[in-house]
Structures are given as structure tokens and as C-alpha cells.
């Protein structure tokens, strides 16, 4: 029997040049044994005909809310209940805006409002429209409402621009659909080691160099990892957070302490996630006694030396004891460029990058957006995860990490 026999997918097609890809998506879903019914917006019909999608899905295509003939067959509420999943591909900026406001001004938006099924969208639009604060606001709202996303990809666009907004390829969209129905990867026999929080580098017995890392993201990752059933070792710098249930915590202060704990715990582990904001430099010779103001002139010279790069050292372990290694990159500009550089330079398998230049930054905040970049057998692949509570982002990242570990790739 095909793997997803009988699963019922309501495919919403809106007005994008990528609408032709929906034909291929229908074929892939049908090949997996799924039933597909298509709803098109008015604009979508200018890009691909209902007849094409009807022939591929083997079902009449619905285009209007006020169609007595179609309603007599399966009413819109019945259709909303019928769906095991609503997939929108392509999803335009306009459709996202209407859904974010809970509008029901055509058949597709009405179905989305009337259905309790999981919802997945493959956005497709010009890169300026995608980056626009209004679209990003709608994305955030829809994520909070439970929408899941596949793509958009970055690259050449039909309009000649280059950037994020290309609809994901049909294979990636179909895989994202399968993933909704595939039991989540569990990790009972998996050992995940995570570093979190800041480090403190002593200058004298009472003073130190540190940073504003709250540890929230690392702790959210530890919590999400423990929920999958994994054995979780959390190497934590000084933070004011409770230890998540089921997590074994190792408290450290300095980068040197974090380095040795990481080495001890990560060898032979399955996944190592470096989420700590490790202080880059430490005092070459911390003073044995408190540095006195009166012993110094108007300035004080400290000699700082570089701390070891913990994650790069773990990534360089011999393959027999090397875990899958995932790093973080908090950047204020050129996020993608620096993330690619860091992935290569530190020898990582995946990097989670975020832009901390936005208002409020991410340190200490409860929400975070991320751009994931990972190695594939033929190069690199990436995915944007919209701004969302750190807890939800953490479980997405853990799931991607488990996929990468299990399958050598993530959809």
C-alpha cells in the first residue's frame, strides 16, 4: 500500500507564477496514495487552468464560494471537515494578509477559517514583498495561529530579482506534507549535548568579562530535546533559569571550563549544539587580588588572549567519536554571508543564524526567527523559520537536527 494511503489533502492554489508547480505537487501526493481536492482563487486561474488540476487530481476543482452546483455536491463546510491537511501552494502575499486577518472573502479563505486541520503553506512572491514588514508581520501572526511553512527558497525569481521568495520545489513541498503525517522522529537512544548561556572570564577575584546572553534559547533546545526522549546534557554558563525536566545540567563559568566539559561529554554523543555565547577573549593573567583603583593611573591595560573555539574543536573530533555539530550565528548584518563562512570555517553540519540588529534584538527576548543552513551531499540547503516563541523554534531545530542525523538530510 502507498505510504500515506487515504490521507486527504485540500490544496489551495493562489495567484502566483509558481502555480504551475502545483500540478507536480498533486502528482507526487497522489503517487503517495493521498486524495487531493483542489481549490483555486480567482487570480490563480489566470496562471493555470482548473481543467489541468482537475485532470491530475481526478476530482472537480472548486473555484467559487457561491456555486450552487458545486455546493450541492460537497458543501464548503463539509469540504473543510473532509481535509486532513490544508496545503496552500503557492501562497501569495495577498492571501497571507487575508488569512492573517481571518477574512473569509472567497472559498479558500472561508475553508481555512472553517477547518481545524493542520495548515501548511509554501509562500511565493517577489523578494521585496517577502521582506516587507507587513508580510513579515502576517507571517508571524499566521505562525502563531498554527500555520506551518515550507520555504520560501532564495534564488533567481521570475521577475528578475534575486532573493528570498521563490516557492519551494514540488518535491520539497510534498516532503513537508509527508512529514506532517510521519510520526515525529523520536530519539530514545540519542545523546544530545548542548552549551547555553554566557561565559564569565575573570579579571580578578570579583570582576569578569561577560555578555548579555540569557541562555533562553539553549534551555529551550534542551527542553525540546528532552521531550523527544533523548538523553540531554546541558552545559550551562551562569544564567537564572530552572533546569528543564529530564535534563542533566553541568554548570560552568569560564570558556575553559565549558571547553573541557564539552570535550568530556560530546565525544561519542550523537548531536552537539553550541548555543552558548562564549566570550572570545580572557585575561591572560587574572589578578590574584582585587585590582585597586589607586594602584593604577587613569587607564588600565589588560592583556587578553583568545579563548578556544569550543564548537570548532568538537567538529574536528575524529569521525568515530564526532557528533553531528550544530552552531549558532548571531549577526547584525550580512547574516547569510557570515553564516556560510562560519559553517565552513568551523566545520559544522548545520548553522542556525539570526539577525540581532532588529529592534529589541534576541538576547533575553522570548521570540526568535532563524535561518537554517546545512550541509547536503551535493552542497548546502537552507530554510527560513519565521519569528516565533523560542520554545516552538527550538522544537523545529531539534526536529531538523534529528532528521539530519537519521536521513543525512532535512526537507
Residue ranges binding ligand C5P (CB under 6 A): 195, 255, 274-276, 278, 307, 309-311, 327-329, 342
CA geometry: angle 280, 282, 288, nearest 5 deg: 165
Least Å distance between CB 278 and ligand C5P?
4
User: Cβ closer to ligand C5P: 195 or 233?
Assistant: 195
Q: Which three cell numbers stand for residue 36?
A: 487531493
User: Cβ closer to ligand C5P: 255 or 373?
Assistant: 255
Annotated catalytic residue within 46, 134, 158, 159: 159
90 cis-preceded (ω within 30 degrees of 0): yes
User: Cβ closer to ligand C5P: 19 or 262?
Assistant: 262
Query: Is 159 a catalytic site residue?
Result: yes
Binding-site residues for CTP: 274-276, 280, 290, 308-311, 328, 342, 346
Strand order in the sheet with 324-331: 247-251, 231-236, 191-196, 271-274, 324-331, 350-355, 367-376, 379-389
Least Å distance between CB 156 and ligand C5P?
30
The angle, 0 to 180 degrees and rounded to 10, between the axes of the packed helices 50-57 and 20-31 is 10
Binding-site residues: 274-276, 280, 290, 308-311, 328, 342, 346
Residues 6+ apart with CB under 8 A from 226: 232, 244, 245, 246, 247
User: Cβ closer to ligand C5P: 224 or 311?
Assistant: 311
Per-residue b or e along 240-275, where b marks 16 or more CB atoms closer than 10 Å to that residue's CB? ebeebeebebbebbbbebbbebbeebbbebbbbbbb
Least Å distance between CB 276 and ligand C5P?
5
Q: How far apart are CA 297 and CA 295, in angstroms?
A: 7
Catalogue the active-site residues. Answer: 159
Amino acid at each position: 500500500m502507498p505510504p500515506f494511503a487515504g490521507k486527504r489533502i485540500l490544496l489551495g492554489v493562489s495567484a502566483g507564477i509558481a502555480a504551475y508547480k502545483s500540478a507536480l505537487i498533486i502528482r507526487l501526493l497522489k503517487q503517495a496514495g493521498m486524495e487531493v481536492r483542489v481549490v483555486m482563487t480567482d487570480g490563480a486561474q489566470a496562471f493555470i487552468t482548473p481543467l489541468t488540476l482537475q485532470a491530475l487530481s481526478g476530482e472537480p476543482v472548486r473555484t467559487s464560494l457561491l456555486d450552487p452546483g458545486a455546493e450541492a455536491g460537497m458543501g464548503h463546510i463539509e469540504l473543510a471537515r473532509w481535509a486532513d491537511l490544508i496545503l496552500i501552494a503557492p501562497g501569495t502575499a495577498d492571501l497571507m494578509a487575508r488569512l492573517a486577518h481571518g477574512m473569509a472573502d472567497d472559498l479558500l479563505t472561508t475553508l481555512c477559517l472553517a477547518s481545524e486541520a493542520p495548515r501548511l503553506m509554501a509562500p511565493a512572491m517577489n523578494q521585496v514583498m517577502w521582506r516587507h514588514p507587513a508580510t513579515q508581520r502576517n507571517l508571524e501572526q499566521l505562525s502563531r495561529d498554527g500555520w506551518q511553512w515550507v520555504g520560501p527558497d532564495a534564488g533567481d525569481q521570475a521577475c528578475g530579482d534575486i532573493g528570498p521568495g521563490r516557492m519551494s520545489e514540488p518535491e520539497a513541498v510534498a516532503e513537508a506534507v509527508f512529514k506532517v503525517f510521519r510520526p515525529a522522529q523520536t530519539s530514545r537512544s540519542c545523546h544530545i549535548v548542548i552549551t547555553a548561556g554566557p561565559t564569565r572570564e575573570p579579571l580578578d577575584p570579583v570582576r569578569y568579562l561577560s555578555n548579555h546572553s540569557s541562555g533562553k534559547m539553549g534551555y529551550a533546545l534542551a527542553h525540546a530535546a528532552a521531550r523527544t526522549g533523548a538523553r540531554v546534557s546541558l552545559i550551562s554558563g551562569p544564567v537564572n533559569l530552572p533546569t528543564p525536566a529530564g535534563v542533566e545540567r553541568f554548570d560552568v563559568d569560564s570558556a575553559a571550563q565549558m571547553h573541557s566539559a564539552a570535550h568530556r561529554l560530546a565525544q561519542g554523543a550523537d548531536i552537539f549544539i553550541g548555543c552558548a555565547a562564549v566570550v572570545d577573549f580572557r585575561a591572560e593573567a587574572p589578578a590574584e587580588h582585587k585590582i585597586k583603583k589607586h594602584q593604577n593611573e587613569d587607564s588600565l591595560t589588560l592583556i587578553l588572549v583568545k579563548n578556544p573555539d569550543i564548537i570548532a574543536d568538537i567538529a574536528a573530533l575524529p569521525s568515530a567519536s564526532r557528533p553531528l555539530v550544530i552552531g549558532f550565528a548571531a549577526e547584525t548584518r550580512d547574516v547569510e554571508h557570515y553564516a556560510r563562512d562560519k559553517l565552513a570555517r568551523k566545520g559544522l553540519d548545520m548553522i542556525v543564524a539570526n539577525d540581532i540588529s532588529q529592534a529589541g534584538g534576541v538576547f533575553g527576548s522570548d521570540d526568535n526567527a532563524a535561518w537554517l543552513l546545512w550541509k547536503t551531499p551535493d552542497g548546502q540547503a537552507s530554510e527560513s523559520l519565521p519569528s516565533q516563541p523560542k520554545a516552538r523554534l527550538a522544537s523545529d531545530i531539534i526536529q531538523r537536527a534529528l532528521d539530519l542525523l537519521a536521513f543525512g538530510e532535512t526537507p
